[in-house]
Amino acid sequence: MKRWTEWGIIVLLLLALDQVGAAGAGGKYDRLPQIGLASDFTLTTHEGKRLSLHDLRGKIVVVTFIYTSCADICPLLTAKLVGLGPGLGADLGSRVAFVGITVDPERDTPPVLKRYAAEHGARVAWAFLTGTRAEIGEVARRYGVYYRKTPRGDVDHTFLTSLVDQNGILRVQYLGVRFDPEEFLRDLQSLVREARQG
């Protein structure tokens, strides 16, 4: 019971952070709020290479959590994020990177993630990451993502997508998949402008 109570508190905090981010995107603030230093991680990419969040310093990084055998929400979230690419133009890759971290590391090996990336057209600026159960569990915990495998093999997890600025600061977190892609794009573009201004 205690575990679920703590989880409820986390969800409420994330919802509050989501509202802060939405207020920033709506133009009430000149800059998006700074939540705090984003937790670093080092995981294995869909290309079989090790990648750390600090390797992407200097870029705005979108961090989200998915798993490849998900039949409903994960593909929708991935498609939504991939669909932001055209709106970013030349900044995609050069100033903005996307990171999808699996919550099913036992099944989502680098080859499986590579196939998932190809199926969803997530080529430019994307890295899909996996690791050991312990590594994934620690990263998920640090980013406020809860997950558990069900008896039938699915993975129940929270859908939380974070925006990390060029200095490694966590700026906005989007809870769920029903976010407005135009708002999300505006937040990204706002962070790109900040990066250009130095």
Per-residue pLDDT, 131? 97
* Strand 60-66 relative to strand 160-164, pairing: antiparallel
Q: State mean pLDDT over 158-164.
A: 95
Q: How far is CA 94 from the centre of its chain?
A: 18
Domain residue limits, the chain = 2-197
Does the domain formed by 2-197 have CATH 2.60.40.3880?
A: no
Q: Which of 103, 130, 131, 132 lies closest to 114 in space, CA to CA?
A: 130
SS3 content of the chain, % helix, strand, coil (to 5): 40, 25, 35
> Is 54 marked as binding a ligand?
no
User: 157 labelled as ligand-binding?
Assistant: yes
Q: What pTM did the predictor assign?
A: 0.84
Whether the predicted pLDDT of 81 surpasses 90: yes
Mean pLDDT of 120-136: 96
Q: Which residue has the higher pLDDT, 36 or 198?
A: 36
Choose between 180 and 152: higher pLDDT. 180
